[in-house]
Each structure stands twice: as structure tokens, then as C-alpha cells.
Amino acid sequence: MADTTYLEKKGIPTATIGDDKLTDTVGRATARLHCVPGLLFARVPYPICVASDEGELESKVDMLLPQVERILTGSEQEIVGYREPSKV
């Protein structure tokens, strides 16, 4: 995730994909550490890497694609499940 913060600071839009547990912990901490506290993430429920069948995998992809599109086009407030980063 550090590479994402580097690119964002250079003005290159990114859309980091992760599960909710990863983005709420490591993702937010990395973003704060690298001075990009408002970094947005495309998120799916934990665990991201487990899919019992192709349909479940497609469901996760279908959940992520609109989020990635909205992050990259700047309409992130419309993201379903989008939350402001928590204040820690």
C-alpha cells in the first residue's frame, strides 16, 4: 500500500483493492504514515482471497468494479459502503 501513497502524492490516481479488515487496519495506518490520510479503498468483505466457486468470485468482482470506477473518477462519496477514515 505504500506504493499507492507514493503514486497519489505524485498526482497519479490509484484505486487500492482490499478486504474490509485489511483496509481498516493496515491500509489506514499506511496511508496516515505516508501523509495521505484520506486515501480511498475499494473494499469487499473479509476474506478477499477465498471464493468457494466462480460465482462467488464474480460477485466480489462485481462489488469492486463500481468502487474502483468511482474512486478513479472522483465520485467516491457515491460508493456503496464508503466510510470516512476513522479518527484514531
Q: Residue 49 belongs to what domain range?
A: 2-74
Total number of domains in the chain: 1
How far is residue 23's CA from residue 20's CA, in Å, rounded to a whole number? 5
pTM for the predicted model, two decimal places: 0.74
Does a structural domain hold residue 50?
yes
The one-letter amino acid at 68:
V
* pLDDT beyond 80 at 82: no
Kindly report, residue by residue over 43-58, the tens digit of the pLDDT: 988 887 777 788 888 8
* pLDDT beyond 50 at 64: yes
Does a structural domain hold residue 33?
yes
Does a structural domain hold residue 65?
yes
* pLDDT beyond 60 at 3: yes
Does a structural domain hold residue 81?
no
How far is residue 45's CA from residue 49's CA, in Å, rounded to a whole number? 10
Q: How many alpha carbons fall within 13 Å on the CB side of residue 78?
A: 10
Helices of type H across 12-83: 20-22, 28-33, 54-73
Average pLDDT, the chain: 83
Does a structural domain hold residue 87?
no
Q: What is the pLDDT of residue 47?
A: 81
Q: What is the pLDDT of residue 33?
A: 94
